[in-house]
Structure 1
Amino acid sequence: MSSRPQSQRDPATDDAVLHFVEKFALLLTDAGMPRMPARVFSLLLTVDQAGLTAAGVAEALNISPAAVSGAVKYLMQVSMVQRGRRPGERRDHYFIGDDAWYQTLGDRDKMFQTLCDTLDEGVQAVGPDTVRGRRLAETRDFFSFLAVEMSRLVERWLQQREAES
């Protein structure tokens, strides 16, 4: 542990912060996120907008560069982490934008539509008047409902956030 005063410590190396990171990562893992992306995401929540390099993430979490690479790839695919560079630097920095949560949920529209389209194909393939067809149609209708409601929730969140600022 560093002997620097608490206010000057790097958040990524502070014991209390690392305890939070691991605790929050466990909750995300219990909710279905893979373990390593959950740890990296939790860590990135605790750092400033400049983010961390892959080496910084690896050092803070005591994990291999390969583990960081896989976790960051997953997090970028689901729009939870962004990559950028500081002017004049060659190394990428990973960070979480201010809109990470609603952006991630808002980006699900395309996924829900693809699911609905594919489920509709399944309904036609097995027959809409069969038990299997009704089950697939019910699943399609549920995802269609989720798509509409997610859009509404994101819109309500943006309105609330705007009203509070």
Structure 2
Amino acid sequence: MTSGTGEAGRTSGESGGTADSAGGRDENAVSRFVERFAAEMTEAGMQRMAARVFAALLADDDASMTSADLGRQLQISPAAVSGAINYLTQVRMVGRERDPGSRRDRYRLHDEIWYATFANRDQVLTRWERTLRDGARSLGEDTPAGARLAETAEFFEFMQAELVGVLDRWSESRKTSG
């Protein structure tokens, strides 16, 4: 593995972007991508630092970096890295691991990150649907609030069914193209 400060002298995270004239990575292009994608994720509701850390890992060839790597690349404090990693591990977008013999944690994107992320959302939708249906019954399904909760539960039930189908089709497409 060449993450961290590797034999080639690159630090993890110096990946993505366009090749420069010497055949290496254009670090400015990498940085622009990381910040642009992080801004898109922040706009969608993710915490800003978590989005930046996630985008940096996504742009890394090994999808794995240490806290020091992330801090250097993103020019953020260890505390900011820690907060972002805590959030990303909690929502199961990133895992912690250690290289044999090392005391440093490495943070790695899970394989099939998008599939896993949306599959986890399927479980969330199921729980929300159940809770909303209970709420509709508690409030009275014939009340405006109860009807609103029931309609929201129906929406989540629909989304869950659609998401299951989408994930199944994605999995099949990966088998045939891989």
Q: TM-score, normalised by structure 2?
A: 0.83
User: How many Å apart are 1:25 and its aligned residue?
Assistant: 0.7
Q: Which secondary structure does the structure 1 equivalent of 2:29 belong to?
A: helix
- Within 5 Å, give how 1:4-19 maps onto structure 2: 9-10=10-11, 12-13=13-14, 14-19=27-32
Question: Are residues 1:41 and 2:54 paired?
Answer: yes
Residue type at the aligned position of 2:13: A
Q: Encode CA deviations 1:5-57: one digit per residue, 9 max, x unaligned.
A: xx974462522211111111111111221111110000001113361111111
**Counterpart of 2:140?**
127
Contact 2:12 2:65 (C-alpha < 8 Å) held by counterparts: no
In the aligned structure 2, how far is the partner of 1:71 from the partner of 1:9?
24
2:99 pairs, out of 86, 98, 109, with 86
Counterpart check, 1:103 vs 2:116: yes
Which of 97, 108, 112 lines up with 2:125 in the alignment? Answer: 112
SS in 1 for 2:13: helix
**Distance in 2 between residues matched to 1:146 and 1:17, nearest whole Å:** 35
Partner in structure 2 of residue 136 of structure 1? 149
Structure 2, unmatched stretches of 5+, are 1-7, 15-26
Counterpart CA distance in 2 for 1:125 and 1:50 is: 46
Over 3 Å counting, the alpha-carbon distance change for 1:33 and 1:157 in structure 2 is: same
Counterpart in 1 of 2:90?
Answer: 77
Cα distance in 2 for partners of 1:37, 1:98 equals 18
Which structure: greater helix fraction? Answer: 1
Write out per-residue CA displacement over residues 37-80 of structure 1, whole angstroms, 9 at most, x where no aligned residue. Answer: 11000000111336111111111101111111111111112221
C-alpha separation in 1, matches of 2:128 and 2:63: 36
Q: TM-score, normalised by structure 1?
A: 0.89
- Residue type matched to 1:150 in 2? L
Whole-Å separation in 2 of the counterparts to 1:161 and 1:148: 20
Matched, 1:26 2:39: yes
Identity among equivalent positions (%) equals 46
Inter-partner Cα distance in structure 2 for 1:132 and 1:54:
46
- Backbone CA RMSD of aligned residues: 1.7
Which aligned segments of 4 or more residues in structure 1 are displaced greater than 3 angstroms? 7-11
Partner SS state of residue 58, structure 1: helix
